A and B are shown apart, each in its own frame.
Chain A
Amino acid sequence: MIEIKNLHKSYHMGKNSLHVLKGINFTVSEGEMVSIMGSSGSGKSTLLNILGILDEADEGTYTLDGTLIKNLNERVAARYRNKFLGFIFQSFNLINYKSALDNVAMPLYYQGVKRNIRVEKAMHYLEKVGLADWATHLPNELSGGQKQRVAIARALASDPKVLLADEPTGALDTKTSYEVMELIQGINDEGKTILIVTHEDDIAHMTKRIVNLKDGLIIDDSIVTQVRAKTNNYV
């Protein structure tokens, strides 16, 4: 599903240049649930941005579902993002003047789906995350956990190949974090490929594989036993 070879990325700030990714090789097959770990500055967010076609690598190749992602213009990049990827952000990034339902329906709008079908599909995903009753509420009327569920529903709405989550529980308390992780695990159980960037150990162990990044290189890549985030499991 995801295949990256010898990925390099530097940031230039004035005369200084910062070599963030120093040759990453990494493959994810369909249905995997992978967490990317590392301290801040290890390059994990940069890697996720490149995987999400939000940013582009300087060197190396990136193949997503058999499509080589290289030198894309913004138009094609936007279409690929819409078709292949669903994003979940730490700060939710919902559009604050749109209702939960309209937020979820947004990716479908950009796919050119008709309004009534859009609403129907969006409602379906809101039900899936357990927020059907909150469909008409604005984001600022929802709790953090609810916002993140809306964001997850939005990420799922376009039926992407891969879900990319950047610190999805970073702004949530433990209880809510586990509820969100339970939801994400359920989505993975249905066969969706999921990548999660996190620096929390417990969250990482709720995935099936942990990739450890340090100073722009993968230092460890191992399969782990998944800890189910069932609500009764946490202390």
Chain B
Amino acid sequence: MFNLERWQEIFEAIRKNKLRTFLTGLSVASGIFILVILLGIGQGMQNGVQQQFESDATNRISVWTNVTSVEYKGLNPGRRIEMDNRDYDLAVNKNEDNIEYKSGVYSRWGQLTTFKKESGSYRVEGVHGDYQFLENETLVVGRYINQGDVNNYEKHAVIGNQVYLDLFKGKDALGEYIDVAGIKFKVVGVYSDPGGEREETRIFIPISTAQRVYNAGDKLRSLAFTLEKHDSYEDALAASEAFSAQLEADLKTKHTIAPTDDRAVNVNNSLENAKKFYDLNKMIRWFFWGVGICTIIAGVVGVSNIMLIIVKERTKEIGIRKAIGAEPWSIIGMILHESIFVTAIAGFIGLIFSLFLLQIVGPFIEMDYIKNPSVDFSVAITTVIILVIAGAIAGFFPAYRAANIKPIEALRDE
């Protein structure tokens, strides 16, 4: 390996056979390039999917109502169903031991909100204190809505990070009063949400306050729950499905809705969606690994092929070298040394190019299902090493055979 004479011999061979070297290098470099880009996109898709569903608690169960679609007990279809506090209390009381977090929601879209000269239009949601966890939110500063706020009809507001940036431009917001549709609210906290900007342009106020200021009586737009943790995913899913079904049935009975009506009451169980996401993520990972492994195999086959051709092409040269005194191992060493050198250099060039591309372009890719494609550096290095070793092994056999044919046979080769 550190034999200077050998290196000189190899560099000479490489310099004098530029096309051969270039083609070997190209196939290796492009193989690595494609592989790394593929793995990067796979990672990007996983990131994207993960983000899509991290925006809310993974085991959240949401309930909202709509108009009826089926005639029932003499009542016409098209009747609007509205939930109220009693529905919420019923669900909570019935499942007290099961429920982890719970909240009713009364929301209004497009509420003009101003602070001094800045203003914006945001969604306002009246919620209970647990809603922070149901939305998977973290507080940047201050606190969330609490039970005291709800009990005392406090005009307190927790604003999203985007709202904060829009209205306060980075200045201290705690304790300031914002004007929401003509009513002053005191900012008690700023939150951030993994769902990003869309989820951060909201203002949360106590549910009781919301019902009062919007003249909604005790109406609720939706309910949200999470259940206590279970040991296994299957248990969690079963409990969650049972809860959903029970809740749907109770609401239908209470509001006189046909059991067959699938529009009036909607229960969305995130855990079922989570399962789909988990499966999708698994599929994506499997798919890209499959493609990646196939790419490596194709690369190895390509390298082997080239090695075979190189050895074939050099049979006569090998014969000459043997006739003037080259030992078989020096022939094998020469061929492998050259091929490992070329594949390694080309592999790293492909690696550097692809990593460079991912690094430069990756952060700008912000589509719904692909986010920040990137690749684990050690995985990339490993693939290069695998390819080099595989190339060496693939090259070894033809080299070994060529080194052991009799010099006269090699010399006859035209």
Contacts and interface: CB of A to CB of B under 8 A. Distances in A.
A in complex with B = yes
Nearest to A84: B325
A89 B404 CA distance: 21
Interface string B315-336: 0110111111111111000000
Chain B at the A interface: mostly helix, strand, loop or mixed?
Answer: helix
Interface string B118-149: 00000000000000000000000000000000
A107 B327 contact: no
B294 interface: no
Given A49-B408, A93-B411, A110-B330, A98 B325 contact: no
Nearest to A95: B317
Interface string B1-45: 000010011001100110000000000000000000000000000
Interface in A61-95: 74-75, 78-79, 81-83, 87, 89, 93-95
B276 interface: no
B320 A54 contact: no
B324 A82 contact: yes
A75 B17 contact: no
Nearest to B414: A91
Interface in A27-56: 49, 52, 54-55
A74 B327 contact: yes
A78 B5 contact: no
A111 B326 CA distance: 9
Contact of B411 (A83, A89, A98, A111): A89
A154 B323 CA distance: 11
Interface size class, chain A = 20 to 34
Nearest to B323: A87
B322 A78 contact: yes
Contacts of A102: 12
B16 A109 contact: no
A40 B61 CA distance: 95
Given A95-B317, A97-B17, A115 B8 contact: yes
Nearest to B317: A95
Among B8, B317, B324, B406, max chain A CB count under 10 A is at B324
A81 B325 contact: yes
B391 interface: no
Contacts of A148: none
Nearest to A87: B323
A55 B12 CA distance: 31
Given A55-B406, A95-B317, A106-B321, A78 B12 contact: no
B373 interface: no
A74 B332 CA distance: 13
B406 A54 contact: yes
B328 A75 contact: yes
A74 B408 CA distance: 13
A97 B15 CA distance: 9
A109 B13 contact: no
Contact of A75 (B12, B323, B327): B327
Contacts of A54: 323, 406-408, 411
B324 A87 contact: yes
Interface in A97-146: 97-98, 102, 106-107, 109-111, 115
Interface size class, chain B = 20 to 34
B324 A110 contact: yes
B307 to A, nearest CB: 18
A102 B317 CA distance: 14
Interface string B291-329: 000000000000000000000000011011111111111
A158 interface: yes
A98 B323 contact: no
Contacts of A93: 316, 319-320, 323, 411
A116 to B, nearest CB: 11
A78 B325 contact: yes
B19 to A, nearest CB: 12
Contacts of B325: 78-79, 81-83, 107, 110-111, 158
Nearest to B412: A91
Contacts of A81: 322-325
A107 B324 contact: yes
B318 to A, nearest CB: 10
A101 B404 CA distance: 27
A128 to B, nearest CB: 18
Nearest to A114: B5
Among A54, A78, A154, max chain B CB count under 10 A is at A78
Nearest to B16: A97
A44 to B, nearest CB: 14
B199 to A, nearest CB: 66
A75 B324 contact: no
Which 6 A-B pairs give the minimum distances between C-beta atoms?
A82-B325, A97-B16, A110-B325, A78-B327, A107-B324, A54-B408
Given A110-B321, A154-B324, 19 more contacts: A54-B408, A54-B411, A55-B406, A74-B322, A78-B326, A78-B327, A81-B323, A81-B324, A83-B325, A95-B317, A95-B320, A97-B13, A97-B17, A106-B324, A107-B324, A110-B324, A110-B330, A111-B325, A115-B8
23 contacts: A49-B408, A54-B406, A54-B411, A55-B408, A74-B403, A75-B328, A75-B329, A78-B322, A78-B325, A79-B327, A81-B322, A81-B323, A81-B324, A87-B323, A93-B316, A93-B323, A93-B411, A95-B317, A97-B12, A97-B13, A102-B12, A109-B5, A110-B327
Interface of A: 49, 52, 54-55, 74-75, 78-79, 81-83, 87, 89, 93-95, 97-98, 102, 106-107, 109-111, 115, 154, 158
